[in-house]
Amino acid sequence: MQFKNLNEIIFKENTLVKDVLEQFNKTAIFTEQHGFGIVIDNQGICVGVISDGDIRRKLLTGLTIDSPVSKALNTEYRFVFEGESSHSILRLFDQKVANLPVLNTNKEPVDLYRLSDFKASSRKGQRIIRARVPMRISYSGGGTDMSYYINHHPAAVLSSTITKFCTASVLVRSDKVIQIISKDLGIEYQANSIENLKFGDKLDLIKSAIKIMQPEFGFDLETHSEVDAGTGLGGSSALTGSIIGALNQFRNEKQLDLYDIADLSYQSERLDLEISGGWQDQYSTVFGGFNWIEFRKNEVIVNPLRINREIILELKFNLMLFRFGGTHDSGKIQLNGIRDYNVSDKLKIDNFAKMTDLATEMKEALLKGKVKKFGDLLDISWQLKKSINTKTSNQYVDELYSYARSEGALGGKVLGAGDAGYMLIYASPKYQRTIKDAFEKKGAKYESFDFNENGLEVWSTPR
């Protein structure tokens, strides 16, 4: 949608600061509640942007309100050219940018993208839509998929999805009311319209996914997750993906592809709700199967792996999944890693590069059927992950893992951000009974699983 108030936020270089501030009072409502403008020269070429924050900082250094705005403008601004991909635009919004000028090839402003408008629209349908998204297991590379790293260095994650799901069901209503029913949380919520959705409870993840799709009709939304949130299986992204996937069905010929759905899921969680984390969960869960996910500077590429069936069966035969402890706040754990990280820190950069190299070795081991080597590399990857972020483990986790290793396990790891949730152990079947019994006594419960190949699945049924 074209930004209708573009001319109201464009200023010439010689416009006085006081006149810009006066205009900000009128236009802040259109620019994410912040004073924001685009500054052009006499030829109409964009030379910078200006915000109320830029002006305040300059006033503190001696600028007066009778100075021309050229004395305060930001010349190192972020912008996009017409026709750039939605993913590259999302990367810019990910850098805490609320307003993005859109320039033509002559660098003349032609539009403005706002974060609040960067949504998907929808229209009314006449069927019940159900969508389910599987949980994921990340084997190596997790933690390297954060924007602060992949914006400077390439990275990759090896993952697969398993037969534990989040499901969303949408039943269209004849009014504008939105009713949310969370089966696993036992919570219901109702709003008279999408504009009246209020945040601040345990359903915020669901509400954010609804908001980003901007459906123009009322509906009942029922959600169900087969695992607790915050347990390391990418459940939040699976839930978000299932809701977006279900509402996507009402877009008809304008349906989003899997990359778009993954990006919107990321935006919903990371930008709109400000939950810290990386990019892998959204892509792993939505695409499904064994994937090699590459994170490049301006894009993400999902490479499905063609692994022989007997290798997958043998891998499943040697892997055990245990539910231990409570839940974790993945955002806080990830923030700990961010606080420890600096793009100029050579040791951190080297460790992330090692993690990517290990992920590559694990991928090749699977493709070649070397499952024992895969188990050994799983241990090396876990030890490296713990050294990168100390919050991923604790004394209880270390005790469980050390015992499994002492009883013959080749490797393993805590899934997701760590600290609590699920632990994956690779061990020959002859050692598994002993490990299971000991883990049970220590409060870690064994759960069976199988691999899933399908990712997001959507189906409908008559109303």
Whether the predicted pLDDT of 180 surpasses 60:
yes
> What percentage of the chain has pLDDT greater than the value 70?
94
What is the tens place of the pLDDT at every residue in 277-320?
A: 899 999 999 999 999 999 998 899 999 999 999 999 999 999 99
Least confident range of 67-76, 83-92, 176-185: 83-92
Whether the predicted pLDDT of 1 surpasses 90:
no
Residue carrying structure tokens 């300059």: 58
Quickly state the pLDDT bin for 125 (edges 50, 70, 90): very low
Region 389-416 average pLDDT: 92
Whether the predicted pLDDT of 111 surpasses 50:
yes
Whether the predicted pLDDT of 112 surpasses 90:
yes
Region 121-129 average pLDDT: 56
- The continuous run of DSSP H or E covering 189 comes out as strand 187-191
Buried b (16+ CB within 10 A) or exposed e, 419-439: bbbbbbbbbeeebbeebbeeb
**E-assigned strands of 226-327?**
291-295, 300-304, 319-324
Q: Mean pLDDT across the chain, nearest whole number?
A: 91
Quickly state the pLDDT bin for 235 (edges 50, 70, 90): very high
What pLDDT score was predicted for residue 123?
33
- State the architecture of 6-117 in CATH terms: Roll (3.10)
Residue of higher predicted confidence among 261 and 117: 261
Asked if 138 contacts 157 with a C-beta cutoff of 8 angstroms, the reply is yes
Q: Is 201 helix (H, G, I), strand (E, B) or coil?
A: coil
What pLDDT score was predicted for residue 348?
79
Least confident range of 74-78, 124-128, 215-219, 241-245: 124-128
- State the architecture of 309-447 in CATH terms: 2-Layer Sandwich (3.30)
What pLDDT score was predicted for residue 328?
46
> What percentage of the chain has pLDDT greater than the value 90?
75
CA distance 399 to 405: 10
Region 127-138 average pLDDT: 94
What is the tens place of the pLDDT at every residue in 325-342?
A: 866 454 454 445 544 555
Region 164-178 average pLDDT: 95
Segments making up each domain of the chain, as ranges: 6-117, 127-305+453-462, 309-447
Asked if 120 contacts 251 with a C-beta cutoff of 8 angstroms, the reply is yes
What pLDDT score was predicted for residue 384?
92
Selected from 3.30.420.40, 3.40.50.1220, 3.40.50.140, 3.30.230.10, the CATH number assigned to the domain covering 127-305+453-462 reads 3.30.230.10
What pLDDT score was predicted for residue 418?
64
Residue carrying structure tokens 């870690």: 444
Residue carrying structure tokens 């694990």: 362
